[in-house]
Amino acid sequence: MEIKKKDIRALTKEQLRTFFETQGDKAFRGNQVYEWLWGKAAHSFEDMTNVSKETRQMLEAHFVINHIKVDQMQRSSDGTVKNAVRLHDGLVVESVLIPTKSRTTACVSSQVGCSLDCRFCATSRLKRMRNLNPDEIYDQVVAIDNESRLYFDRPLSNIVFMGMGEPLMNYNNMIKAIDKITSPEGLGMSPKRITVSTSGVPKMIKKMADDEVKFKLAVSLHSAIDEIRTSIMPFNATFPLDDLRESLEYWYAKTKNRITYEYIVWDGINDKKSDVEALIKFCKFAPSKVNLIEYNPIDDGEFQQANTEALDMYVSMLEANHITVTVRRSRGKDIDAACGQLANKG
């Protein structure tokens, strides 16, 4: 009978050290292998050149390294790069490299598909197939860091969890991945350069606050009026705005970290003065800023980006209320790499 080999990166460093001891070897060997697995992101045991051949064969007999494979890479005319990432079981997710003058941002996926049902997002049509493992999230970051060095001659500077999936519905694995990304034994990046974007799962926002995480939080708000938000993000019926607001107040009280609200203004949906007034009120519960993002059409035209006047109204009313507002232009639209367009079309 064939025994299913375990993914070696599911082991902690301590577990790896113990494994070597049970094999009659030195625990220290575990540190060496751990360094290969994370710091050097080795793809195979063969790569571990300072580990003896016998040890490598022994590891091979017990474990696998479930490494991701970048199947297809597309480059946009604006420099954005989209990776179709094949997982060990054949499923595919997407991640995106977004370059600006001074930084490179990686937009990574946290799940295959998504269990939420935002009606304007292409990923929601894929349904949730499974959560990504910590190493699969980590590998996406390593791949983009390598591409950044190759194409832009600089390391990756920022990470946003704005690819496929809802990161707070895969909380433990997301946290484990971020631990590795920020640890000196992994990529050693500052958590301040990482933003986790959520549709708003109140219970998990409170958990993050209790865990005293150091990364930034962005919430995809899109409307501060329950009836409207539920019509475009149906799960809002389960997690209504009052609960979301309460969790965000809790987050700010514990972390003192300002919240970013991501917000798209659509024609005929949330382009009225009353919509802006509700948003302003919501913004006052905890220090926050608003990021007005451009809508990337995904379908039959049911949703249309509002006109410039509506956007200007948002900007001027928010500013008049001393709320910081930025308008973000989309990148990588020509290769379906922009927000909400990730749906494994290839």
The reply on whether position 162 binds ligand SAH by CB under 6 A is yes
Smaller CB separation from ligand SAH, 68 or 264: 264
C-alpha–C-alpha distance, residues 112 and 119, integer Å: 18
# residues near ligand SAH by CB under 6 A: 17
Stretch that binds ligand SAH, among 118-126, 182-190, 236-244, 315-323 (CB under 6 A): 118-126
The reply on whether position 205 binds ligand SAH by CB under 6 A is no
- The enclosing H or E element of 220 equals strand 216-220
Binders in 277-336 for ligand SAH, by CB under 6 A: 293, 295-296, 298
Please say if 339 is a catalytic residue: yes
Q: Is residue 107 part of an annotated ligand binding site?
A: no
The reply on whether position 182 binds ligand SAH by CB under 6 A is no
**Nearest residue to 163 (alpha-carbon basis) of 209, 211, 202, 195:** 195
Smaller CB separation from ligand SAH, 107 or 209: 107
Query: From the candidates 2, 14, 94, 294, which is the catalytic residue?
Result: 94
Minimal distance, residue 316 CB to ligand SAH, in Å: 22
Q: Is residue 110 part of an annotated ligand binding site?
A: no
Place of tokens 């005929």: 268
Stretch that binds ligand SAH, among 28-36, 83-91, 175-183, 191-199 (CB under 6 A): 191-199
The reply on whether position 98 binds ligand SAH by CB under 6 A is no
Please say if 94 is a catalytic residue: yes
The reply on whether position 131 binds ligand SAH by CB under 6 A is no
Q: CA 75, 80, 86, 92 torsion: positive or negative?
A: negative
Residue ranges of alpha helices (H) inside the chain are 13-22, 28-37, 53-62, 134-152, 171-182, 202-210, 226-232, 241-255, 273-283, 308-320
Smaller CB separation from ligand SAH, 49 or 308: 308
- Chain position whose Cβ is nearest to ligand SAH: 340
Minimal distance, residue 181 CB to ligand SAH, in Å: 17
C-alpha–C-alpha distance, residues 220 and 160, integer Å: 13
Minimal distance, residue 35 CB to ligand SAH, in Å: 32
Neighbours of 192 (CB within 10 A): 12
Q: CA 283, 278, 339, 230 torsion: positive or negative?
A: positive
User: What is the three-class DSSP state of 263?
Assistant: strand
Per-residue burial over 134-152, b = 16 or more CB atoms within 10 Å of its CB, e = otherwise: bbbbbbbbbbbbebbeeeb
- Nearest 5°: CA angle at 288, between 284 and 293? 115
The reply on whether position 264 binds ligand SAH by CB under 6 A is yes
> 227 φ, ψ to 5°?
-60, -45
Place of tokens 């109140």: 202
Minimal distance, residue 339 CB to ligand SAH, in Å: 3
The reply on whether position 269 binds ligand SAH by CB under 6 A is no
Contact residues toward ligand SAH (CB under 6 A) are: 118, 120-121, 162, 166, 197-199, 220, 262, 264, 293, 295-296, 298, 339-340
Binding-site residue ranges for S-adenosyl-L-methionine: 165-166, 197, 220-222, 296
Catalytic residue positions, numbered = 94, 339
